[in-house]
Structure 1
Amino acid sequence: MTREPLDDDVPVDDTLRYAGAARIRVSEGEGYVTSDEKLLAWVDPADEGRAVARTARDAWRVLRIQSEFVAGFDALENVAEAVTVFGSARVAPDGEEYATGVELGRLLAQAGYAVITGGGPGAMEAANKGAFEAGGQSIGLNIELPFEQHLNPYLTIATNFRYFFVRKTMFVKYAQAFVCLPGGIGTLDELFEALTLVQTGKVKRFPIVLIGRDYWGPLVGWLRDTLLAEGMISPGDVDLLTLVETPEEAVDVVRAAVAG
């Protein structure tokens, strides 16, 4: 199946910011405050005027949050089996880690899985590119940030979210597995949220695969040698993570777990 990447009809521009599905142009020198920041901002209860105004705004935000869930559910309603792939936005297109992401996306698509990522550049783009070029479903769930993060062009389904917690729900709801490529704080956040959901039984039969023994091995070792040794986690918790070296191994783990 031959397809051309979608061209973004909006040029790259530092004054453009996402707000849900819309782009908003910010005046030069104007600070940009995300919806998450507005929602989580502290207001002194002693400041009665601001406290009352916040209560009114929050009531309306509930409707916006609800609409964002509905939009996400509608966008992904036809997704069957899928794998969510996490990884750094900072991976260079000419690097080995990018090539690994492309191969992972290709193999997942060939195995019949849709590929879900955060929709941005780097490792996310790589996994989407592999799935897209293999003719599979390639899904990007972008997030509103203080700095611009354009959706990558290798997507068959793309949507933008204001709220991290809504986006995280979509990452889990439509996936049968998580695969983590090397990444930073955002990847760690998503990894440990997935691990918590599995460890607490909130999701069942959900493999979490880490690609790259040199990269992830020290983290797994710390979990085992420090947290487990100190009794902070249970003996089986470390086993909820599967450490592999290649995309082929990762896809084999996913297929075996889903076949169950």
Structure 2
Amino acid sequence: MSNHQHEIPLPSEIAARMPSRHKGSVELRRSQANIPQADQYLLDTRDKADFTHTDPWRVLRIQSEFVEGFGTLAELGPAVSVFGSARTRPGTKHYDIAEQIGRRLVEKNFAVITGGGPGSMEAANKGASEAGGLSVGLGIELPFEQGLNDWVDLGINFRYFFARKTMFVKYAQGFIVLPGGLGTMDELFEAMVLVQTQKVTSFPIVLVGSAFWGPLIEWVRGTLLEEGMIAEVDLDLVRVVDTAEDAVDGILEGLLHSRGRPSESIVDV
């Protein structure tokens, strides 16, 4: 057999190299994958005529995403949303912990909700699926979308971030947040604001990885608190742990002790 035969890419390899992303339930490839995102259309500033001709109709599409999400997840049962970086590699510490978290949540009778992507999200979905629980993925239209990971049992693809974010909170009893980037930070601080303002109650937030989250917590304490931007009680919005076992225990303890928590802070929103 000639060695040159091994240089011919397999069909799966060719597919993996093609630009590909989802637009709602539609999958786009090659040149079609380069069209603007739905969120981009919505948020870009345009002239008044364009607004009156397109945005009112776009409300119906937004409405359909909420209806689809509510209808699909209405009977989900107790669940926890797990966040973390899409760049986390299999075999790394954070990936392994995320997988253990997915498994332990199922053992405590929770479904597991993630963003449905690779990395820590994939790991949590894998742990939940292999443990025989319900593994949920809420995907989003992005410029370089990879689609839902293979361990998602129940998946929904969204066009709009705000519709997707609603599902993460509405159908979860708490958040477990692994190390991640801007998207992870966005979900974390939004959840903290929702708890702080009592938009959601009895909603524990657990951060996994003291070495990663420690400097952020110190900044919150040393800057936000010292400058009077938050109240002392707001430091209790999250707890930091280092193991999968402690992360799941943190959710359980938070659900027991945080019901009816009063807020002492004045919120600048």
TM-score (norm 1): 0.90
Partner amino acid, structure 2, of 1:25? R
Query: Cα distance, 1:26 vs. partner?
Result: 4.4
Q: Distance in 2 between matches of 1:58 and 1:74?
A: 24
Matches within 5 A, 1:1-260: 11-12=15-16, 14-27=18-31, 31-44=34-47, 51-260=48-257
Query: Cα distance, 1:218 vs. partner?
Result: 0.7
Q: Distance in 2 between matches of 1:208 and 1:192?
A: 10
Which one has a bigger Cα radius of gyration? Answer: 2
Query: Cα distance, 1:146 vs. partner?
Result: 1.0
Q: Does the 8 Å CA contact 1:17/1:26 hold for their aligned counterparts?
A: no
- The Cα offsets for residues 6-31 of structure 1, whole Å up to 9 and x where unpaired, read as xx9xx535333211111123427x73
Partner amino acid, structure 2, of 1:34? Q
**3-state SS of 1:237 partner:** helix
- The Cα offsets for residues 20-45 of structure 1, whole Å up to 9 and x where unpaired, read as 111123427x733100000001124x
Q: Distance in 2 between matches of 1:57 and 1:215?
A: 44
Query: Cα distance, 1:128 vs. partner?
Result: 0.4
Q: Distance in 2 between matches of 1:40 and 1:252?
A: 40
Task: Tell me which protein shows more helix as a share of its residues.
Answer: 2
- The Cα offsets for residues 184-231 of structure 1, whole Å up to 9 and x where unpaired, read as 111000000000100111000110100011000111111011100110
Q: Distance in 2 between matches of 1:26 and 1:35?
A: 18
Partner amino acid, structure 2, of 1:227? L
Q: Distance in 2 between matches of 1:219 and 1:15?
A: 36
Unaligned runs of 5+ in 2: 1-11, 258-269
**3-state SS of 1:42 partner:** coil
Q: Distance in 2 between matches of 1:248 and 1:170?
A: 25
TM-score (norm 2): 0.87
> Runs (4+) of structure 1 moved beyond 4 Å?
none
Unaligned runs of 5+ in 1: 1-7, 45-50
Q: Distance in 2 between matches of 1:71 and 1:14?
A: 29
- The Cα offsets for residues 65-121 of structure 1, whole Å up to 9 and x where unpaired, read as 000101111111221100000000000012111001100100001110000000000
Q: Distance in 1 between matches of 2:131 and 2:44?
A: 44
Fraction of identical pairs, as percent: 55
Q: Does the 8 Å CA contact 2:99/2:125 hold for their aligned counterparts?
A: yes
Partner amino acid, structure 1, of 2:16? V
